[in-house]
Structure formats: structure tokens, C-alpha cells
């Protein structure tokens, strides 16, 4: 496993969104399996990615985690990507594999595990929570030790709804992991994720592409404690 993380430090959240959008647009052109994330950070990146490359017909889209809500709920990670990315494309992805959170965490996780099979993501986009969580893997949660590919999970932070998440081994099997993080409230988590000893109190520190690249695209505020 490569523990090396390529750090890309940009001026502000807008530049982070633009860099992530460019990476997604390139992935769409190349075609392949792309895993999206939820959270506030990717919204602008998704909108820009759809503008830069409106043809996603060579891709299949997946998610790294989902909240157990209906697909049109404001809290749904699928709804976020639909509104900001999928609905703006000229050519839809070849397949859109959403996690069916409305089925409840156990059933949704089992269904998604079946659908996922042994798929390997070409690009996997991830955020980091201010507590250091990644996907829906929260600090010191029992899910961090699970080997299954997809797991039902408890929330460790708002919004407090059940989750479904990819496990650490699944996240680490991606060919390219792209973390996108901006904002001063993430500086501590970013330091723990990329410049401290990895451990279960910071799930993002355990996520590194086993046989590929791990890239962290950060703004100055989020990267502020990296050299401290
Ligand atoms: C989710 C996300 C989650 C997110 C981080 C960062 O379902 O909430 O997948 O892991 O990436 O919480 O979120 P922000 O970008 O909103 O800070």
C-alpha cells in the first residue's frame, strides 16, 4: 500500500471546486467507474464538471455513502448529485448505481453490495468531516474494522440519520482517490488525516489507494495546519 498522498494546495474553495471539476470531467472523457460523495464541498465541483464535460455516457456512477432517506430528500447524496450534475448533462452515464437508502440501512447495504460486485473505481471522490470522518465511517466506529465491501452505519455527526457506507478496504481498492476539502473548520481534521499517525480516531487517515494514487485537493485554510 502506498501511504504517499499528493497534496495540491489552492487559494480558496472556488479553486478547489474548479480543480475537482476538471478531474471529474477528465474521468468522464476517459470513461469508467466513478464514485461520488455527498456533503457541501462537491456541489460547485459537480456543477462545473457538467459544464466542462456534458457527455458522461462512457461512465458508470456510484456513491461512497448514502443517508437512509428517500432519493428526493434534501439529505440524499443522490439527490445532490442529480440536481447539480446528472440533470445538467447532455448524455447520461451508462449506468447510475444509487444506494437505495429508503430501504433501510441493512437492506440497502446488502443490495448495494450485490450490485457493486467486484467493481473497482477508476476515480473515487471523497470529503472529510471536521471530526475526521470519511464517507460514513466515523471516528472509532466498529465499521472501521469490517472487511465486507458495503456496511450499514450509524451517524457520528449531523444529520443524525442511518447511513450506508463503503468499508475501508473497498475505499482503498480505488485506482485513484481524490479528497476535496476546503475551509478553516477542516484544518485540524486535515492535519490528522494527512500529517499524523493514522488511526481509527481519524477515519480519513486510513484511506489510501492500495495500488494507485491518493490526491488531496485543499484550499489554504484547510491546509493551514499541515506544516505546523
Ligand atoms: C456525507 C459525505 C461525508 C462528507 C463529509 C464532508 O454523506 O455526509 O459523504 O463523508 O464528505 O461530511 O462534508 P462537507 O463537504 O459537507 O464538509
- Ligand 1 mean position to 127 CA, how many Å? 5
Query: Are 128 and 182 contacting, i.e. CB atoms less than 8 angstroms apart?
Result: no
Amino acid 228: pLDDT: 52
Amino acid 2: pLDDT: 56
Query: Are 183 and 13 contacting, i.e. CB atoms less than 8 angstroms apart?
Result: yes
**What is the mean predicted confidence (pLDDT) over 168-174?**
98
Which residue has the CA at smallest separation from atom 3 of ligand 1?
A: 135
pLDDT in tens, 182-214: 999 999 999 999 999 999 999 999 999 999 999
- Ligand 1 mean position to 129 CA, how many Å? 6
**What is the mean predicted confidence (pLDDT) over 118-135?**
97
CA distance 225 to 228: 5
- Ligand 1 mean position to 40 CA, how many Å? 7
- Ligand 1 mean position to 4 CA, how many Å? 23
**What is the mean predicted confidence (pLDDT) over 149-155?**
95
Percent of the chain past pLDDT 90, that is, above it, reads 94
Ligand 1 atom at shortest distance from the alpha carbon of 136: 10
pLDDT in tens, 30-66: 999 999 999 888 999 999 999 999 999 999 999 999 9
End-to-end CA distance of the chain: 26
Amino acid 151: pLDDT: 98
Amino acid 40: pLDDT: 83
Pocket test for ligand 1, best of 13, 36, 37 (most atoms within 8 A of CB): 37
CA distance 133 to 9: 20
Query: Are 81 and 61 contacting, i.e. CB atoms less than 8 angstroms apart?
Result: yes
Structure-block grid coordinates of residue 60: 458508470
Crossing angle for the helix pair 42-52 and 13-30, to the nearest 10 degrees: 50
Q: Is the CB of 205 under 6 A from ligand 1?
A: no
Which pTM does this prediction carry? 0.96
CA atoms within 13 A on the CB side of 177: 32
Sheet containing 163-166: which strands, arranged edge to edge? Answer: 65-67, 163-166, 150-153
Amino acid at each position: 500500500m502506498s501511504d504517499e498522498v499528493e497534496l495540491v494546495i489552492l487559494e480558496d474553495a472556488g479553486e478547489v471546486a474548479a480543480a475537482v471539476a476538471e478531474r471529474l470531467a477528465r474521468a468522464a472523457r476517459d470513461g469508467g467507474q466513478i464514485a461520488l460523495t455527498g456533503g457541501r464541498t462537491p456541489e460547485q465541483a459537480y456543477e462545473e464538471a457538467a459544464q466542462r464535460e456534458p457527455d458522461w455516457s462512457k461512465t458508470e456512477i456510484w456513491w461512497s455513502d448514502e443517508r437512509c432517506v428517500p432519493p428526493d430528500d434534501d439529505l440524499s447524496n443522490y439527490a445532490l448529485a442529480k440536481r447539480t450534475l446528472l440533470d445538467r448533462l447532455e448524455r447520461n452515464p451508462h449506468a447510475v448505481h444509487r444506494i437505495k437508502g429508503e430501504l433501510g440501512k441493512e437492506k440497502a447495504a446488502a443490495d448495494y453490495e450485490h450490485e457493486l460486485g467486484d467493481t473497482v473505481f477508476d476515480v473515487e471522490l471523497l470529503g472529510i468531516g471536521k471530526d475526521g470522518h470519511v464517507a460514513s465511517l466515523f471516528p472509532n466506529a466498529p465499521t472501521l474494522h469490517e472487511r465486507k465491501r458495503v456496511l450499514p452505519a450509524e451517524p457520528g455527526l449531523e444529520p443524525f440519520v442511518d447511513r450506508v457506507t463503503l468499508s475501508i478496504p473497498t475505499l482503498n481498492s480505488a485506482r485513484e482517490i481524490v479528497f476535496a476539502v476546503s475551509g478553516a473548520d477542516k484544518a485540524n481534521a486535515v492535519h490528522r488525516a494527512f500529517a499524523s499517525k493514522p488511526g481509527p480516531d481519524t477515519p480519513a487517515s486510513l484511506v489510501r489507494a492500495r495500488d494507485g494514487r491518493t490526491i488531496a485537493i485543499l484550499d489554504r485554510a484547510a491546509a493551514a495546519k499541515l506544516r505546523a
